[in-house]
Amino acid sequence: MRPLTYYIDKCIIGVYVAALAGGVLSCTVVDTNAAASGNRRSVNIRCVASTSDKLDYMTADDFLQGSEKAANHEDITRYLENLKRNGLFEEAADVENGFEEHPEEGEEPAIEEKTDDADAVEDSANGEDKAEEEPKIKIDPTDWKLILVNKQNPVPDDFDVKLAGINGSLYADERIINDIYKMMDAASDDGVDLMICSAYRSYERQRTLFNNKIDKLMDSGMTYLEAYRVGSMNVTVPGTSEHHLGLALDILTGNYTTMDDGFGDTEAGKWLAANAPDYGFILRYPEGKEEITGIVYEPWHFRYVGKEYARDITERGLTLEEYLKDCD
């Protein structure tokens, strides 16, 4: 016969098991398919009341949004910690499902250490970002080569330029003559025929060209204001032309002598677009930038800004207006 204490222990165990089965608060996490509305995981947290058989379902949205239905975050966290300490909840997906894992009392929180490779990748990324943000060269807006002349920035009243002959009656700023010759020679060596048809223009010459354009448009039926608006997109208003600076050239070719978009498709037009920056010239009025320059696409008009600036402007796909705005 077994001793009386054996039966007493059995009774205590039975009561304990019954209490555990009927009254312990359990928490289960169930992963479901991605929610159709927001392509996110819908997580159900099932809470069983300690004195009731009723199941109360709480969605992850309820929990995260702190609704009245949601259980207190600290209470649930503390309960999970108790389960872990008692060995009843070995594998908890706390972090994945919105819970932060708290260290035991007296324990130091784990600190994630960066590896050398991670630091190198981060430094490399930061370096690339800085390289993209910073201009390739230092821009000096006071440099004579970068003087901006357009409708909003007329030629200064005290501007003066020393001219030198290119050939015949064509003149340009004496400081760019050598680069003009080098560019023409290089094109010739590549079998490309370039023909400079306009360079420096005086104020009087520009006024004549502009007035002729206005008269032609008015003859077609436009009012003066309409002709002025349209004409100034094709021929710059006197006093606002880069040709006054002696730094601009209009270049065509022997077998294409019309100043229109078609020149950009000729062998000469393509050669200039690709090679002019090596001699200090940029395509001043590129296609698609009309609202910025105030001038229609002119594949024949090239402006001298110096080799370093010309390469930088061209590589970055900017107009002179945009380039100088970078250094404001």
**What is the predicted pLDDT for the residue at 280?**
98
The reply to whether 100 belongs to the active site is no
**What is the predicted pLDDT for the residue at 82?**
58
CA distance 307 to 268: 20
Q: What is the DSSP letter of 153?
A: B
Distances (CA, A) of 301 to 171, 179, 287, 292: 15, 16, 12, 16
Sheet architecture: strand order including 27-34: 27-34, 41-48, 55-59
CA distance 296 to 301: 11
> What number of CA atoms fall less than 13 Å from residue 243's CA on the CB side?
25
CATH fold group of domain 144-201+241-325:
Muramoyl-pentapeptide Carboxypeptidase; domain 2 (3.30.1380)
Judged on CB neighbours under 10 Å (0-12, 13-18, 19+), 8 is exposed
From 128, 290, 298, 315, the catalytic residue: 298
List the chain residues with pLDDT less than 50.
15-17, 19-73, 76, 79, 88-102, 130-131
Rg of the chain taking only CA atoms, in angstroms: 40
**What is the predicted pLDDT for the residue at 194?**
98
Residue with tokens 């005086």: 202
CA distance 226 to 31: 69
Q: What are phi and psi of 201, to 5 degrees?
A: -130, 140
**What is the predicted pLDDT for the residue at 263?**
98
Alpha helices in the chain (DSSP H): 4-23, 60-65, 73-85, 116-133, 177-189, 203-219, 224-231, 267-275, 290-293, 307-316, 320-325
135 in Cβ contact with 145 (< 8 Å): no
> What number of CA atoms fall less than 13 Å from residue 209's CA on the CB side?
17
Q: Where are the domains of the chain?
A: 4-85, 144-201+241-325
pTM over 0.75: no
CA distance 36 to 39: 6
Beta bridge partners of 195: 252
Least Cα distance to 275 among 177, 167, 188 occurs for: 188
